[in-house]
Amino acid sequence: MREFPPIDRQAEMAASQTVFFTDAEFEGRPVRTSRANYLAFLSMRGTEVEGEVNKLRTMFAEHLPEVLERDVICLLTSRNWRNHNIACAAIAAGFVTDSSLEALWKCIHDGSWTSPQLVATAAYVDSSFSVRALHLLADDSTYFKSLVPLAEIFAAEHDVASLQIRPVAAIVQEARTIDRDNSGAIGTHWLANLRTVFGLNFKRWA
């Protein structure tokens, strides 16, 4: 509930080589930099968001679906929250497959500094959210910053009574005592922002 999985350096490198990054230079050194501004996606509101989302949609049109699927999964397999944020925006913008959805849920289980955004994305795009959320809420190996927004969004949009059953209630209570960042509110607010930016109902990219 408290610890991230160990960092996999190869996974981090693979994420930086995806189509979501491009070659650039910083202080005379070659670097890989995000093609979209991940900071604009951190709150998912403000004047920059529309332009940054359009950059993602341009990428959708430029690359084969199997390349995008592979690269979204690479972003979610890494442990860097910036990569997770980009993946969330890409998925909410309409690029989702069965495999990328599985990677999203695994990332929610394993945890991230942006766990609330990951959970909100799953709630927005996955019609099976309630079933899968309950599964993770009953698993005390789910990262605590994921458990709290899972519980908040589940309670707001589904069956509050289900959160009172054992072992869910005890697991959620422990997670809330550990959480110091109000992760539940971040998740619910981010879900509301997704619906403002992308529409009340999720639409797959055509």
Following DSSP, what letter does each residue of the chain receive, concatenated?
A: ---PPPP-HHHHHHHHTSTTEEEEEETTEEEEEESS-HHHHHHT-STTHHHHHHHHHHHHHHS-HHHHHHHHHHHHHS--HHHHHHHHHHHHTT---HHHHHHHHHHHHH--TTHHHHHHHHHHH-TTHHHHHHHHHT-TTS-HHHHHHHHHHHHHHS-GGGGGSTTHHHHHHHHHHH--S-HHHHHHHHHHHHHHHH-SS-----
Per-residue pLDDT tens over the stretch 182-200: 999 999 999 999 999 999 9
Whether 28 has a pLDDT exceeding 90, the answer reads no
What average pLDDT does the segment 159-170 reach? 84
- pLDDT tens-digit profile of 101-132? 999 999 999 999 999 999 999 999 999 999 99
Domain count within the chain: 1
Is residue 14, in this structure, part of any structural domain at all?
yes
User: Looking at the whole model, is its pTM more than 0.85?
Assistant: yes
Per the structure, the complete domain to which residue 141 belongs is given by 9-198
The answer to whether residue 95 sits within a structural domain is yes
Q: Which residue has the higher pLDDT, 113 or 206?
A: 113
For residue 26, tell me if it sits in a domain: yes
